[in-house]
Amino acid sequence: MAKESPSLSSSMSSVLRAYAAPIFIFVLAMFFQLFLLPRSFPTSHYDVLGVKTYGSVDDVREAYEAIASKWNSDSGDARPADFIKIQYAYELLTNPVWKRDYDLYAIDESLHITEELEKQYAMEDFAKIKTPLLEAVSYDPEHEGFMAITSQDFASKFQDSKPWLIQLYSSGSNSSAQFSMAWRRIVDLLDGVANHAMVELGDVRLVTYLAEKKTTGQVLFRNGLPSIVAFPPQCKTADCLIRFEGELSTDAVTDWFATTVLELPRVFYHTKETLVPKFLAKVPPNKVRVILFSQTGERATPSVRQAAKDYWNFASLTYVLWREEDASFWWNALEVESAPAMVIMKDPGLKPVVYHGSGNRTWFLDILEQNKQLQLPQLSSTTSMELGCDARGYSRAGFETATWYCAVLVGRQSTELNKMRETMCRVQDALSNHDESDEASKDPSVAPAASAHKNKRLTLAWLDGEVQSKYCFFYVQSETSYDTCGTRKSPIDVPRILIIRYHRNATESANVEKKSSNWPKTVWESEADDVDPAAQLVVSYDGPAETPEIIKWLSKMVEDGDSKNLPFYRAKTPELVPESTEPMRSGVPKSVKATQALLRLWNRIKDYLADPRMGPTLLLGALLSAGSVWLTRSRAIQQPVQTTQQSSTNQSDNNTEEEKKKERKRRNAKGEEAPASITDNEPKDAVQILSSGSDSD
């Protein structure tokens, strides 16, 4: 037997390598068409009964009766599994709602019943199978007080910027009916936070707009019914809606809505061991601490998380799970008797405010609003105007008030500052509780300060001397100012109490406005006018840190400031720098987002694997790839042939030229005369003939 030549073998291997991609795509197309695609399209219930797809209910009944009569006449060959499939198909396709859901959306939520019954009656006679197999359900959410929307009023509902939570359900779905209790709880938890509605699958237009779709454009309920979608705030089209893909439970849906849709911060739980180091010690000193005691350990509701976001600049919230064995500890620490309870912790040294019982959302928000400020407010860039402690602003008493005061406790964060804040809170309470109608209370050492505080001409506040170092150094001008202001350079911390008198002079203000209207200004005039409109005088307290003495000093300062003609001195006060806020961790973590993205990618791949167009598409790709390879190889083969022909032609021309040169050399060597031409020398017998018009000698 002759051996195969090496050239033929190498030629075949090169052809196979060239056509490897088309062959692979062709095999993949055949595998998809013959194995994967049939698994994605199992036998339909119409095929079980021998009825054409989307046949009428009457056609289904006729087919079922024909099969039943055949089985009654000859029941020996009947198997329980076949009877169960036929009976199930008949019950499903004769129920109008179930048939609609099956025809339009391929919903068959009771299919698992057939598998259970086949196992149960595997060894029994089919006559012992109890019918009907399915229990019809009629679910009407409007009778339960839920709001339903249709395609006619859908657009009119989206008038405000509130988010929406929408449930897609079927009136004949048992799963939708079972989810009604959880939906009721979800609606209650979202009260005041989001709008809610329900859409029945009979509204095909609206369901098609809201539901997920396959690659073929067919509506898909990947996780069955009910299906939940959400519109984030300011979202009014389906392009920005978010689908819920988790487990259908109250906790899962509300947590998903609050985290993914609303992007609200989480409110974590702490124990008695972690409350102080991980919460109380980490909350910024300018924020109120709110502790919520829970009996159940449930997640924070969306309304609580929304409040945590809305009051982020004022308060920090946390939860504590109530345990009876810790009851004595919480009573001794915070005077909490039982749960549920709400504890408000404000300034250092102040007694916490405790609210027992569980109220509604309005009750909770009212308490937060009433207690969002510290008793002794912090002077910062966001509160200076509101407190009346800004030379560019006005008094809390109104624009007409010419003279007002601000008593500021200045210092770095330290134990000494906390003690002085506690003292200033007592001073503020004493001024607030001062009764001018009482004869015994008409103390000249208290009345001026109490009256100014009552009339909102005197404000008490505290300032972080380290964060607001420029502002602090501007007012504390002494050799020991570094003990109060700026970065801590020594273990010494000395808080100081300052009183700032603000005064607005109508005449001076008019002159300032008049000067500012004149143009142009010189450099000296511009610098002189770049000052605050209100004059300031500052006095530092150097007495004992006792409440009566501080009040007496404040009254003296107010009395002198109101009665004496003090100089009108204006200056440019340094700007208060923004306080560093506590970072708000809201939204879905990056790791969860990555997992969700991979899940969506896998679902999309599965959708393509179930797309009947993929087989022909792959086959067409294989043909196009094979044609491209053939065309490329044909061009590659033709190119060398043309190159060979051209080279042989060039070589022939070169040979002809060489032969001509050799012939001329041979003739010259023999002395032969070359043929005459116009370029040759003049012949010997040539005669020049002159024209008739030429000159003669």
- Residue 74 or 175, more confident: 175
Read off the pLDDT of residues 11-26 as tens digits, 9 standing for 90 and up: 788 888 888 888 898 8
Instruction: Assign 212 to helix, strand or coil.
Output: strand
- Chain centroid to CA 244: how far? 14
Which pLDDT does position 697 carry in this prediction?
40
Q: What is the mean pLDDT of residues 554-569?
A: 90
Average pLDDT over residues 623-629: 89
Q: Tell me the DSSP string of 284-327.
A: -TTSEEEEEEESS-PPPPHHHHHHHHHTTTTEEEEEEE--GGGH
Residues 6+ apart with CB under 8 A from 688: none
- What pLDDT score does 121 carry? 81
Q: What is the average pLDDT across 142-168?
A: 90
What pLDDT band is residue 654 in, cutting at 50, 70 and 90? low
User: Which residue type sits at 678?
Assistant: I
* 82-92 per-position pLDDT tens digit: 889 999 999 99
What distance in Å separates the CA atoms of residue 351 and residue 331, rounded to the nearest whole number? 13
Residue 613 has a pLDDT of: 85
**Whole-number pLDDT of residue 550:** 95
pLDDT of residue 696: 43
- pLDDT at residue 107 in the model: 94
Distance CA 338, CA 330 (A): 9
- 309-323, 570-584, 651-665 — which is least confidently predicted? 651-665
Mean pLDDT, residues 485-502: 92
CA distance 401 to 652: 114
CA distance 367 to 97: 49
Of the listed ranges 17-21, 334-338, 353-357, the one predicted with least confidence: 17-21
- Tokens describing residue 617: 């598409």
Segment 321-329 mean pLDDT: 94
Q: Which residue has the tokens 């100012």?
A: 481
pLDDT value of residue 541: 95
- Mean pLDDT for 145-159 is 89
* Model pLDDT for residues 573-624, shown as the tens digit of each residue: 999 998 767 777 777 778 877 887 888 888 888 888 888 888 888 889 889 9
| Residue pLDDT, tens place only, 204-246 | 999 999 999 988 888 999 999 999 999 999 898 899 999 999 9
- Render pLDDT for 411-460 as a digit per residue (tens, 0 to 9): 999 999 999 999 999 999 999 988 766 554 567 789 999 999 999 999 99
Instruction: State yes or no: pLDDT of 677 exceeds 70.
Output: no
Mean pLDDT, residues 354-358 = 92
H/E stretch holding 6 reads helix 6-18
Q: Inform me whether the pLDDT recorded for 524 exceeds 50.
A: no
What is the pLDDT at residue 692?
47
Band the pLDDT of 1: cuts 50, 70, 90: very low
Q: What is the rounded CA–CA span in Å between residue 401 and residue 388?
A: 11
With a cut of 80, say whether residue 78 has pLDDT above it.
no
